[in-house]
Structure 1
Amino acid sequence: MSKRKFNNLEGMRFLNKANRLLIFLAAVLLFMYYLASFLIPLAFGIFLAMLIVPFSNFLEKHKFNRVLSSLVSTFTLFIISGIFFFLFFLQINEFAEELPSIEEEIRSGIEYLQKEVADATGESQHNVAGIDTLWEVIETRIAGFIGNILEVTFQFLLVFVYTFLFLLYRGKLMTFIISMYSPGSEEENAKDALSKISKVVFHYLWGRLQVMLSLAIMYYITFLIFGLPYALLLTLFAALVTIIPYIGPLISGILPITFALIFFNDFYQILFFTICVIIIQLIESYVLEPYLIGKEVELNALSVIVAVLLGGIIWGVAGMILFVPIFATIKIISNHSGKIQPLGTVLGN
């Protein structure tokens, strides 16, 4: 066989592999998209089980049986998260009830901003166009959000059912996965991969929770000092969205600054408040995240951005939260598989 024919043959093989890989990825993405209502609670249940499993192991070391340790661990996680979401929904409901009374303040704030921009740029001030439409959209969104609480509650409870079951049957699940590999090096490789996945997911989620709590404390103190209205609601929202890498911290900073622009009348108060929020953002990005999360996920910046955007397209906000640990899991599996090891290299640092 000539060298040219050999090269053509190798090229055809490469294209066939690439086509098969693209078809496989497309099938996986379609599968995840159309089964989102089933897979999202399942994924949350898996990751929450990985987060709480050290506590469950601790209980079992102190003479709790597997059923009781799984039940207590799940119930503890349910109570903590339930208190958070109860406060958040309560604040949202109070804010929705007070919307009509603060509508005029928001209108005045927007008009004030338009006047300041007009004075600074020398352009003539236009009437506030589209405020009524914008206000209707805001009210509709909030009403729809509150109306979906029943559905959210059902999904919330389902997640903890999955969490309990994964904790209860974690030994059998591990044994089942490992039994699929041949005894010897493949079996040890599978054990090592599962151990690393569990460790990475735990450290990522636990670190992310610590960042959320630290950010919430700094925000709440700042909001109280400046007298920002709806301080608790904004703090809970900021803590919640921070779990989304890159995008979450940005949103958590923009919203309180927007409220400051609406409710504060003094320019210097707005300026100092904005500076404080920016400082908190810098502390979160350059101090808290590197220290509390570190490089446990070991994904490069491009992989994280792709995970967040792709997750948002496929699963919405839930995907923006879940796809980062999912990508980290894929990276570890790739590194322990010779056939798809290049994928782990692309995703990693």
Structure 2
Amino acid sequence: MTITNSSIIKKILLVFLVLAGLYYSKPFLMPLFIGGILATLFLPFCNWMEGKRIPKGLSVFICFLSLSLFIVGFVLLLSWKISDLMDDMALIKQRAVEVCRQVQIFIFNHLDISIEEQFKILKKEQPSYATIMQMIASSLVYIVTNLILVMVYFLFLLYYRDHIKRFFLKLVNISQRKEMEKIMYNSSKISQQYLIGLSKMIVCLWIMYGIGFSLIGIENALFFAILCGLLEIIPFVGNITGTTLTLLVAALHGAGLPVLGAIVLVYGTVQFIQGWMLEPLIVGPQVKINSLFTIIALVLGELLWGIPGIILAIPITAILKIICDHIESLKPYGFLIGETASEKSESGFMEKIKNAFGLNKG
């Protein structure tokens, strides 16, 4: 069987059309996808309550209230720790001014640019106060609007889940409905597993970073532990960003090289434990995507939707793989995205360890 040039061109054009559609429909699709993935997380709890004869509407509202309370509680905790950090803002500002002056002197001595000329360059490049305030206000409006949309989608997707399920079943022939049910079940399951595993990972990172930063005497150690752990939702770059911010603030507080080296040591130790113990044991081989396509998904996610795209990239790619695995014509693409033989053997080895310690129970 030969593949014609026209069929290849059609497939390439289809890919570009899909990517363009995702890019331009970001304001609509991004909160919808986040709300849908959060809804799958609360699906077992909602089904359990309905199994206890709690009315569907009340069960969904309890899930909505639980998610709202979690978000409010987390924001309050973060605000509390930020207020502690703000108490030291005068000292940090003073140290920042000293560092800037040293940088200016270095530039003057090595590049022969006077301090007055440096101020002129900075004044040209620096946005005005009004522009900064406008950017902050628009960012807050954007975040609040999308958060409201996410919560609304979460509420109604959970409430109308049976109706939506019947719609997808009506799209296929009766002979294919069992396969469609399997796709929907596996897709919701993998979203749950990813989010639950990620949540456990973040809690473990909070504990490890909190202990490490406290032992070396970092001020506001709990805040930076929460920050470094929370940024784990942005794969690869999130934890590096959190640690870099910790280093910068510690340096502005006047921390010496031994303390800064200790921060790097804590980061390296935590990353070693995370990569070799926590990820295989807690997250496990739930998201069965090979490393190459994990990177590709993250890069495309950032290009299309920014930071939310990075967060959504892995679960959406995992769901895409499930769909490809259950449709005959798309199975080669599912194979391409999936784990290699060596990765599967490593996953099997970690499953044996989990079984030995009873970590697969429940």
TM-score by length of 2: 0.81
| Cα displacement (A) at 1:196 | 1.0
Structure 1, residues 100-132: CA drift from partner, whole Å, max 9, x if none? Answer: 6522213445778999x9xxxxx9799998799
Structure 1: runs of 5+ lacking an equivalent: 1-6, 118-122
Within the candidate set 275, 281, 302, 2:292 is matched to 302
Indicate the residue corresponding to 1:327 in structure 2: 317
Distance (whole Å) between structure 1 residues aligned to residue 111 and residue 254 of structure 2: 21
Indicate the residue corresponding to 1:164 in structure 2: 155
Q: In the alignment, residue 258 of structure 1 is paired with which amino acid?
A: L
Distance (whole Å) between structure 2 residues aligned to residue 273 and residue 17 of structure 1: 54
Distance (whole Å) between structure 2 residues aligned to residue 159 and residue 170 of structure 1: 16
Does 1:64 pair with 2:54?
yes
3-state secondary structure, aligned to 1:322: helix
Native 8 Å contact 1:334 1:341 kept in 2: yes
Distance (whole Å) between structure 2 residues aligned to residue 58 and residue 113 of structure 1: 61
Structure 1, residues 239-272: CA drift from partner, whole Å, max 9, x if none? Answer: 3320122222222332223333332433222222
3-state secondary structure, aligned to 2:285: coil
Native 8 Å contact 1:244 1:308 kept in 2: no
Q: In the alignment, residue 315 of structure 1 is paired with which amino acid?
A: W
Indicate the residue corresponding to 1:120 in structure 2: none
Identity over aligned pairs, percent = 25
Q: In the alignment, residue 304 of structure 2 is paired with which amino acid?
A: I
Native 8 Å contact 1:96 1:142 kept in 2: no
Q: In the alignment, residue 169 of structure 2 is paired with which amino acid?
A: I
Deviates more, 1:27-36 or 1:238-247: 238-247
| Cα displacement (A) at 1:199 | 1.1
Native 8 Å contact 1:110 1:128 kept in 2: no
3-state secondary structure, aligned to 1:242: helix
Indicate the residue corresponding to 2:146 in structure 1: 155
Q: In the alignment, residue 303 of structure 1 is paired with which amino acid?
A: F
Distance (whole Å) between structure 1 residues aligned to residue 77 and residue 38 of structure 2: 21
| Cα displacement (A) at 1:23 | 1.2
Q: What are the equivalent positions in structure 2 for 1:192-231 lying under 5 Å apart? A: 192-231=182-221
Indicate the residue corresponding to 1:20 in structure 2: 10
Native 8 Å contact 2:298 2:313 kept in 1: yes
Indicate the residue corresponding to 2:170 in structure 1: 179
Structure 1, residues 43-64: CA drift from partner, whole Å, max 9, x if none? Answer: 0000000111111112112221
Within the candidate set 71, 81, 88, 2:78 is matched to 88
3-state secondary structure, aligned to 2:233: coil
Indicate the residue corresponding to 2:274 in structure 1: 284
Compared with structure 1, are the counterparts of its residues 334 and 32 closer, same or farther at alpha carbon in structure 2 (3 Å cutoff)?
Answer: same
| Cα displacement (A) at 1:148 | 2.5
- How many correspondences in the alignment? 333
| Cα displacement (A) at 1:98 | 6.3
Structure 1, residues 131-180: CA drift from partner, whole Å, max 9, x if none? Answer: 9959968x987984476223312211221111111111111111111121
3-state secondary structure, aligned to 2:234: coil
Compared with structure 1, are the counterparts of its residues 98 and 263 closer, same or farther at alpha carbon in structure 2 (3 Å cutoff)?
Answer: closer
Q: What are the equivalent positions in structure 2 for 1:227-242 lying under 5 Å apart? A: 227-242=217-232
Structure 1, residues 71-91: CA drift from partner, whole Å, max 9, x if none? Answer: 101210121122213433565
CA-based RMSD: 3.3
Structure 2: runs of 5+ lacking an equivalent: 340-362
Indicate the residue corresponding to 1:316 in structure 2: 306
TM-score by length of 1: 0.84
Indicate the residue corresponding to 2:283 in structure 1: 293
Distance (whole Å) between structure 2 residues aligned to residue 299 and residue 111 of structure 1: 49
Compared with structure 1, are the counterparts of its residues 127 and 109 closer, same or farther at alpha carbon in structure 2 (3 Å cutoff)?
Answer: farther
3-state secondary structure, aligned to 1:298: coil
Within the candidate set 247, 271, 276, 1:257 is matched to 247
3-state secondary structure, aligned to 1:227: coil
Distance (whole Å) between structure 2 residues aligned to residue 109 and residue 280 of structure 1: 30
